[in-house]
Amino acid sequence: MFRRYMAVIFIASALIFAIFIGNGCGRNKGDEPTKYRSQAGLEKLTAQAAQTSPDNPKFFTARSITPANATAKDIDSLIRPVLVKMFKDAKLISAKGPEAPQKDGEVVEDRLVYAVRKAMARTDGDRLHGTLHSMGFAYSPRLGSKPTHLRARVYMSLMKTTRLRGYSFVIIVDTQKQQIEVESYKLGSKYDRLM
């Protein structure tokens, strides 16, 4: 009699355990980002994470400057609104005019450096590239159509034409220095005609 009683308890316990395991131990489905049925849920989660991102200390200590020449002002009017949209705010902290030709004949006509309010991660390089492209910046053959990742830097090249002129940009997102550098190259380079 005792053995039958123990066998019934054992079988009942095994069935309850199997049902409990089969139902996922009470786990709520859809808690993980990959379980959302639509992209909207994942985007909402990403936006919430972005709002809680820490601020960039360099932004608060850097002094904002005004671009000195017409092309630098034109470049700033293209780039800064995108940075403000993505990173809450942006300061132009350095602007240099034409540089001496490099060994391969390339000439950087303007070099602008920005500090943004939100601290940057490597994934922000991909986000910035995608945002610029969606705002009418064309892919450039200079570095290819996708960003290039190196340790603490993400490089990208894009082209844009304004009423003033056309531009060939190399943009560097530096997560170590927490700054974004925009290099505008003299047009007509062999690197802009690789395609």
List the chain domain ranges: 2-48, 54-193
pLDDT of residue 195: 43
- Determine the Cα–Cα distance for residues 118 and 14; give it in Å rounded to an integer: 53
- Determine the Cα–Cα distance for residues 154 and 89; give it in Å rounded to an integer: 20
pLDDT of residue 41: 60
The model's pLDDT over 109-124, given as tens digits with 9 standing for 90+, comes to: 999 999 999 999 999 9
The model's pLDDT over 140-185, given as tens digits with 9 standing for 90+, comes to: 999 999 999 999 999 999 999 999 899 999 999 999 999 999 999 9
The model's pLDDT over 5-48, given as tens digits with 9 standing for 90+, comes to: 565 566 666 666 656 566 555 554 444 444 555 656 655 554 55
- Determine the Cα–Cα distance for residues 75 and 170; give it in Å rounded to an integer: 12
pLDDT of residue 190: 79
